A and B are shown apart, each in its own frame.
Chain A
């Protein structure tokens, strides 16, 4: 059964002659427990798809179905128990004057949990941070540690789908390896479904089983990673992308 199904999705910004069509006619589906990648150059609309799913890009039409329920324009509270997002820049996505404890505690409170104290402890352990980080502020954490906090925050509501928007592109390669391993473990432990946006084909190839290639606001190809590895991309743009990443 598919966990996330997107049919004929269009997303646009602005009105009238300033209208920009950021995503046009996007269609794909992600099965339960699957990891799906979206790749393409900047401005191709890959992040916009994630933002439309979470409700951060309000102007869209087409259909988005999450776990069998079709989304309407307004998101209900239960939606955020199912779907959570991790953003690209861990420096910008954490409040500079909230401690890790406050960030996670508030999120848990909003999700309606009462045993907040024990859950904060559990979340920190889950993302491999441990207790000594609980009362630190973001400026006392490294980039990798911040991204772990952002992942813990996303996991707080025990979601079933995680939307990952370039989760490692702001990090060093050694830290990237740690975060990708963490995401792999978490998916296995919690049976999560991932949709991951990246401009790095190697990262998507490592994390995902299937991927969609985007160019100029359209999905040009959806393929298996095995096909990608064996250099069997169909669309000329995917082939070019592949050449650029293999050469690297």
Chain B
């Protein structure tokens, strides 16, 4: 079943040197799956995620044939209707929990606020639901965490709180933009497995944006590889190491590996033809 259908998405920024295209004609569909988007900085992967939620501010321009969620084209909705989509139907987890939680509100107040906005419920029910949400992301002492402020939490805790908050309204789609790159390797795994459990048990669609090829290969079902605003290759995540595009191969080969020591790492040689080639469709 297709949850989200994106056709020919462009993100443009007018500059003094003319229009800069950050995303150029990206198409893909998302079902109940974990879809990875990988690429280097500046490849347009984060812009793709933000454009879906219409979070690109003017003068940035988002254009697409359609971005449809359950039959509605998100680009045609009013700003008011769009607010009902953000968080309620599509949620987003950002990279750094330090900047996405409100520093002057306790964690509990923020969770309760999110719950009451979504469910129009009374305060007492909201409190219990928030406690449950915290336990569902493996926070051991939810009562204490509810009273704490974000700066009292570690990065891993903060990110788990973010995930709990994003899941409270019960969205169908979660967009995670580098959710673990600010975290340690050991905590990274933990956060990912929590996210994985929640997404699988609720039958959600996940868009996982990352620069880490190995992580995506491990964690996702399908991967789009982006370069210079376009999708250059689409493959099954478990076959990522058999990828054929020279850019993907170059990225994989430039990683140091513990099991294959080398004196020198391979350096990626960029071919201008990569950015000229048309975008590959990521339709399932």
A interface with B by C-beta (< 8 Å): 41-42, 143, 172-178, 180-181, 184, 199-203, 205-207, 228-229, 240-242, 244-248
Known A-B contacts A173-B211, A203-B256, A248-B218; A229 and B261 likewise in contact (beta carbons under 8 Å): yes
Contact B256 A205 (CB under 8 A): yes
Known: A173-B213, A174-B40, A229-B261. A247 touches B267 (CB 8 A): no
Pairs across A and B, CB under 8 Å, 13 listed? A41-B186, A172-B40, A176-B254, A180-B265, A199-B184, A205-B261, A206-B256, A206-B265, A228-B258, A241-B186, A244-B185, A244-B189, A248-B214
Q: Which residues of chain B from 232 to 268 have any CB-CB distance to chain A below 8 Å in the complex?
A: 250-251, 254-259, 261-268
Provide the residues of chain A in CB contact with B188, threshold 8 Å. Answer: 244
Distance A201 CA – B256 CA, assembled complex (angstroms) = 9
Contact B215 A181 (CB under 8 A): no
Closest partner residue, chain B, to A179 (CB atom): B265
The contact size tier of chain B is: 20 to 34
Interface status of B155 (Cβ within 8 A of chain A): yes
Is the Cβ of B259 less than 8 Å from the Cβ of A229?
Answer: yes
**Closest A residue to B213 using CB positions:** A173
Contact residues in A for B255 (Cβ distance below 8 Å): 173, 177, 202
Across the interface, which residues of A come within 8 angstroms of B155, CB to CB?
Answer: 42
Q: Hey, what's the 0/1 contact readout for B140-170 against A, CB within 8 Å counting as 1?
A: 0000000000000001000000000000000
Contact between chains at A202 and B257 (CB < 8 Å) = yes
B102 contacts A by Cβ under 8 Å: no
Known: A42-B184, A248-B218. A177 touches B257 (CB 8 A): no
Instruction: Name the A residues within 8 Å of B263 (CB-CB).
Output: 184
A241 to B186, CA, bound (A): 7
A174 close to B250 (CB less than 8 A): yes
Residues of chain B lying within 8 A (CB to CB) of residue A207: 256
A-B pairs, 8 with minimum CB distance:
A206-B256, A177-B254, A174-B268, A177-B265, A41-B184, A172-B40, A248-B214, A202-B256
- Within the complex, the shortest CB–CB distance from B116 to chain A, in Å, comes to 34
Q: What's the Cα separation between A199 and B262 when bound, in Å?
A: 20
> How distant is the Cα of A181 from the Cα of B268 in the complex, in angstroms?
12
Type the 1/0 row for B259-284, where 1 means its CB is closer than 8 Å to any CB of A. 10111111110000000000000000
What residues on B are CB-neighbors of A178 within 8 Å?
267
Q: Which of B28-74 contact A (CB under 8 A)?
A: 40-41
B259: chain A residues within 8 A (beta carbon):
229, 246
Taking a contact as CB atoms under 8 Å apart, the answer to whether B256 and A181 are in contact is no
Hey, which chain B residues are within 8 Å of A242, CB to CB? 258
Q: A73 to B164: give the CA distance in the assembly, Å.
A: 47
Assess whether A172 is in contact with B266, with CB atoms less than 8 Å apart: no
Distance in angstroms between the alpha carbons of A181 and B187 in the assembled complex:
29
Interchain CA distance A247-B259 in the complex, whole Å:
12
List, in ascending order, chain B residues with CB within 8 A of A180's CB.
256, 265
A248 (CB) vs chain B CBs: closest residue: B214
- Among A143, A177, A184, A199, the residue within 8 A (CB) of B268 is A177
Given known A174-B40, A174-B250, A177-B266, contact A247–B218 (CB-CB < 8 A): yes
Is the beta-carbon distance between B267 and A181 smaller than 8 angstroms?
yes
Nearest-neighbour CB distance to chain B for A187, whole angstroms, equals 12
CB neighbours of A240 from chain B (8 A): 186
- Compute how far the CA of A177 lies from the CA of B214 in the bound complex, rounded to whole angstroms: 16
Q: Which residues of B contact A205 (CB under 8 A)?
A: 256, 258, 261
Complex Cα distance, B218 from A174, in Å, reads 20
CB-contacts of B213-228 with A (<8 A): 213-215, 218
| CA A202 to CA B260, docked complex, whole Å | 10
- Between B255, B263, B266, the greatest number of chain A beta carbons within 10 A of the residue's beta carbon is seen for B255
